[in-house]
Structure 1
Amino acid sequence: MPRLLLLRVLRLATLLIGVSVLAFALVHNSPIDPIQAYIGANVDITDEQLARLREQWGLDRSPIEQYLAWAREMIQGNFGTSTLYEAPVIDVMGARFGASLALMGVAWTMSGVLGYLLGVTAATHRGRLADRLISWYSYTLSATPTFWLGIVFLVVFSVWLGWFPVGLAGPQGVPAEDVTFAQRLHHFVLPSITLSAVGVANIAMHTREKMTDVLNSDYVAFARARGESDWQIFRNHGFRNSVVPAVTLQFAYFAELFGGSVLAETVFSYPGLGSTLTEAALGGDVPLLLGIVLVSAVFVFTGNLIADVVNAAIDPRIRSRA
């Protein structure tokens, strides 16, 4: 166990280094100038002021020096200062982390539970109407981009029907401390449904195939011959053999979940880490962008690690191989 833990820590360290280097290189070579993005259309600024601002932000140094300076601060626990928000990066991320965590948590739970139940239902009713409807939903939604689905939901449920607000996390113009829980929930419904719909489809499709293989196996045929009911077959044979790949896929979905959150939050103007990441990229806010990228990398790594632990707890064969 200590050896496996050490390997995981080393793997996480190399992942963070690689992700930070790649993100820094992409931002540095992007056509967006952080200074111009910061000052906007202000044409009264002088060359001396521009030079002073570049020196203050450290942009007058080479890319390697800029990255090493940022890495030294990161090792000491300092994420830097956001140039867009003029506040510490850790404070900016902290103010938006809760909103994103709630959105992704609800979407992740819905996708796992509903996806597994729909997959089992489709497999146990293979060839019937329920199976055809669930299969149609799964194949259609798994091929649908998150942002496009969000736009469709906005048009249908916000514009045409008027059931939900167009976006944001609360009524426009109302201070955050005055927004009620019911209002937050009203603004929360569409983004969470958008983010969970695709996840439900993926889990349902994979669970259906795995459960179908289990039901067509020889040991299930023998169980039927012994007189076991459908519930006994599912409890004794189907659940354990189908839930392991579902759990693996569910925790591996962390990467797609965060990526989908970026698109969903942008479409609905939801104030979370995803929309903040988009603002940081468009505004050339390197410290904020790198901070969110590192947090997302840890988020995805943690999901994969939890998947390994849960699988080992469910399947003794995985424990013996570990």
Structure 2
Amino acid sequence: MLTLLVAICLISFLLIKNSPIDPIQAYIGADMLKVGPEQREKIAEYWGLNEPVMVQFLNWGSALLQGDLGNSMTYRRPVADIIGERFLNSLVLMLTAWILSGMIGFIMGVVSAMKKDTWIDRMIKWYCYTLASTPTFWMGLLMLIVFAVWLGWFPIGLGVPAGVLAEDVTIADRIEHLVLPAITLSIIGVANVALHTRQKLIDVLSSDYVLFARARGERGFTLFWRHGLRNVALPAITLQFAAFSELFGGAVLAEQVFSYPGLGQATVEAGLRGDVPLLLGLVIFSTFFVFAGNLIADLIYYIVDPRTRESRML
């Protein structure tokens, strides 16, 4: 984890420094013509941008070891405070999409396997293969056009109603703004779980003990409940936890399309403005987030499946 974190931070830092974006110009904004060379030098000195690249990285790393993520050049606030605020919004979005995609994908995979080689199976496979190659931003734009612009069922973007004070925003308002981005992430995230569950259940249904159960007269849901659920639920859960990286990446695009105030939108803004402290802070946080998902998946498999413990003892 430590070596991965150092490598990701270093690569991200070098990519930002070699990008065509001028962080000083992005920092000044529209007042660029009013700022002279001396003022630019003072700004660069204040943010440490006038030092060599590796010196800047080492200075940032030493501050990080002391628990300081630095201040954002875009928001003029501590990076830790921005991540803390934005993470709550992103957590609600990603958790909702994660639960929906897992449940829907698992149900679709089970139905597809139980109805193998029927029109239902073909439709589900076509749906999954299509979604697996569908960009998140394109699906988000399509959902926005159809359900927000044409039908007017949901608001056009943002996390809360525009022009409403924070104390006047209700839970219903937040849910209404959450629906479209959550559904966008959900319907794209079902493909992996559905296809994996389908194949796993097909293998289980073709096994000897299931054939014996069929000979005893077990059919349909009873057969799946007694012999299929335990064998396909664990791989599906493990795969869902391991998909945290895809979920976070999709959330970045979805939040940008819907102008949802989460970590994804902050990541895009930090990249476009050359905000090194904020972007590196988000990189560290997202790395921990993905690593936690993979670790939870491994722990679940280790706890539930005794074969993994036996192999380590041997």
TM bracket (short chain): over 0.9
Aligned to 1:46: 36
Runs (5+) with no aligned partner, structure 2: none
Aligned to 1:234: 224
Within the candidate set 163, 166, 174, 1:173 is matched to: 163
Is 1:271 matched up with 2:261? yes
1:228-307 map, 5 Å: 228-307=218-297
Distance 1:272 1:47 in 2: 36
Distance 1:70 1:142 in 2: 38
Aligned to 1:200: 190
Within the candidate set 3, 7, 24, 2:13 is matched to: 24
Distance 1:248 1:46 in 2: 56
- Give me the TM-score of the superposition, normalised by structure 1: 0.93
Aligned to 2:22: 33
Deviations, residues 136-194 of structure 1 (Å, cap 9, x unaligned): 22111111110000000011111111111110011112122221111111111000000
Matching residue's letter, 1:31: P
Runs (5+) with no aligned partner, structure 1: 1-11
1:18 aligns to what SS in structure 2? helix
Distance 1:164 1:216 in 2: 45
Within the candidate set 93, 96, 107, 2:83 is matched to: 93
Matching residue's letter, 1:69: N
- Give me the TM-score of the superposition, normalised by structure 2: 0.96
2:94 aligns to what SS in structure 1? helix
Distance 1:239 1:315 in 2: 14
1:137-216 map, 5 Å: 137-216=127-206
Distance 2:201 2:105 in 1: 13
Within the candidate set 272, 281, 302, 1:312 is matched to: 302
Deviations, residues 246-283 of structure 1 (Å, cap 9, x unaligned): 12211111000000000000000000000000000001
Aligned to 1:14: 3
User: What is the root-mean-square deviation of aligned Cα atoms in Å?
Assistant: 1.2
Identity of aligned residues (%): 56
Matching residue's letter, 1:240: R
Matching residue's letter, 1:140: T
Matching residue's letter, 1:242: V
Q: Bigger CA drift: 269-278 or 32-41?
A: 32-41
- Aligned-pair distance for 1:210? 1.2
CA contact (8 A) 1:141 1:198 kept: yes
CA contact (8 A) 1:240 1:314 kept: no
Is 1:121 matched up with 2:111? yes
CA contact (8 A) 1:247 1:311 kept: no
Distance 2:40 2:295 in 1: 46
Distance 1:53 1:241 in 2: 60
- Aligned-pair distance for 1:232? 4.3
Aligned to 1:57: 47
CA contact (8 A) 1:84 1:285 kept: yes
CA contact (8 A) 1:135 1:205 kept: yes
CA contact (8 A) 1:116 1:203 kept: yes
Distance 2:231 2:191 in 1: 20
Distance 1:107 1:38 in 2: 34
Is 1:217 matched up with 2:172? no
Aligned to 1:8: none
Deviations, residues 105-133 of structure 1 (Å, cap 9, x unaligned): 01111111111111101111112233233
Q: Bigger CA drift: 197-206 or 125-134?
A: 125-134
Distance 1:302 1:139 in 2: 28
- Aligned-pair distance for 1:243? 2.0
Q: Bigger CA drift: 247-256 or 215-224?
A: 215-224
Within the candidate set 85, 109, 113, 2:99 is matched to: 109
Aligned to 1:5: none
Matching residue's letter, 1:212: I
Is 1:321 matched up with 2:307? no
- Aligned-pair distance for 1:21? 0.7
Q: Bigger CA drift: 19-28 or 233-242?
A: 233-242
CA contact (8 A) 1:169 1:270 kept: yes
Distance 1:308 1:44 in 2: 56
Distance 1:179 1:295 in 2: 28
